[in-house]
Chains A and B, each alone.
Chain A
Amino acid sequence: MVRALPQESHQVEAVGDEGSALAAIARKAPQVIIFSVPAKGGPDLARRLRGVENAADAYLLAVLDGTPPAKELSSLISAGVHDFMRRPFSNVELLERVKAPERLLRWSRSLSKPGAFDFSGALDVASLRAWRNLGRLVADDLAEMATCLVTVTQGYPAHLGVEAPCATIAMSLASDQLELRLSLVADPAAAAWIRQTLLRDPEAPDSAMHDALRELANTAGGALKRAALAETIILSTGIPRDESAARFPGKHDCWSLDLSPGSGCLGLVGEIRKHHNERISAEQLSEGMVLAHDIRSEGGVLIVAAGSRLTATSANRLAAMLGPRYFLEVAPAA
């Protein structure tokens, strides 16, 4: 195997037992670890290899003898193994398998790689990669937040009633006079899951469950916002609030986020709204408004950047600083 990997492109160290492997990993922080799966305890060995401090980000390639049962393969994947090879294998196969993480890295970079941007027309939010992938983006963040599996399907969950608890976060694109709203609607099982898993209290009151749902909406907003940033779109985030689920079915971009089996379902609704900015006096500034342009001092020093969402503190400060005769353009409160 050492001979199969070109020395000019790979630094290879071979060891013959687990103790030497753990020491070498700790010393060298390898990008790829290739290991032979023993007849028993393969997943445990994989965990021990990954458990070394320098191995957390390593790509784990397991070499198998014969065809292990599907259960063992899934256990190896759960233990952090990324790919497998079965003996006998060719040098070419080994080389291609070792190249896989480089390909994955390129693929990952391509997802966030900016392309060409056309600023001449109106912004089409629905065509953004961040918007098209919204269901998956939110599901990934929720899965990380609650350490659970979240499955995504397109469309609004048909069983969600209009009385289902719902939280909404509004995000503003003041320069384009657009507002995006993300809403999460919980079915009864998901509401119970929120109490049990996030609040760790099956008897938690409705107010606590609604607060947690608002934070989930906030998390969803963060996922969209960070993905949009990769496409040079900066969204100003509002404060999540309770909303009525009665408005949603069939009207907007919707996804169904199914929590770990038996844990219920969250409906995710994405709305794109056109709104008109207002021109107001500085003394009319209030919490939640989003500035459509920079505010600078007479000397040109930036005081508050376009896209800033005002709090009561900043609204009062600007009103006092700029005075009633200073007019500025703002997006409505979010």
Chain B
Amino acid sequence: MTARVMVIDDSMLVRRQVTAALKTPGYLVSEAIDGVDALEKLAELADMKLIVCDVNMPRMNGIELLERLNAQGSSVPVVMLTTEGQPELIHRARSLGAKGWIVKPFKPEFLVATAAKLAPLGA
């Protein structure tokens, strides 16, 4: 069994790192470069099990994307992956339904453990 994950980050390096970390245990990883790109791609991919999302991005940031996903009634769990550590932002993300907040630089094994909890491969 596998599960599809979307990583949203304007940095290609971060997208590569997240993809490499999650591909190893068997996730299928889709990529988007910001919130606008993510919304377009999510509309085409109905089977998304997890979203890993940066906060500071051009066009539409991670918090704005959370607001849009909420408005759409999305139930896909979202984990924020960011250099930000401001309590107000973390609280805002949590109140919008985010399931986790990982501060960069991140440990790949921690990301994999988070993915396994929110989007188990065997489910």
Contacts and interface: CB of A to CB of B under 8 A. Distances in A.
A215 B64 contact: no
Nearest to B85: A226
Given A222-B83, A229-B85, A287 B13 contact: no
Given A145-B105, A312-B59, A219 B83 contact: yes
Interface stretch (A75-83, A206-214, A249-257): A206-214
A311 B83 CA distance: 17
Given A215-B11, A221-B83, A144 B58 contact: no
Contacts of A198: 13
B102 to A, nearest CB: 12
A239 B58 contact: yes
Nearest to B58: A239
B106 to A, nearest CB: 9
A199 B11 CA distance: 12
Nearest to B59: A312
A212 B13 CA distance: 5
Interface of A: 141-142, 144-145, 198-200, 208, 211-212, 214-215, 218-219, 221-223, 225-226, 229, 234, 237-239, 287, 305, 309, 311-314
Which 5 pairs from chain A and chain B are nearest by CB?
A222-B83, A145-B105, A215-B11, A313-B60, A212-B13
27 contacts: A141-B105, A198-B13, A199-B16, A200-B20, A208-B12, A211-B13, A219-B83, A222-B84, A222-B103, A222-B104, A223-B83, A225-B85, A225-B86, A237-B56, A237-B83, A239-B57, A287-B58, A305-B88, A311-B35, A311-B57, A311-B59, A311-B64, A312-B58, A312-B59, A313-B60, A313-B61, A314-B61
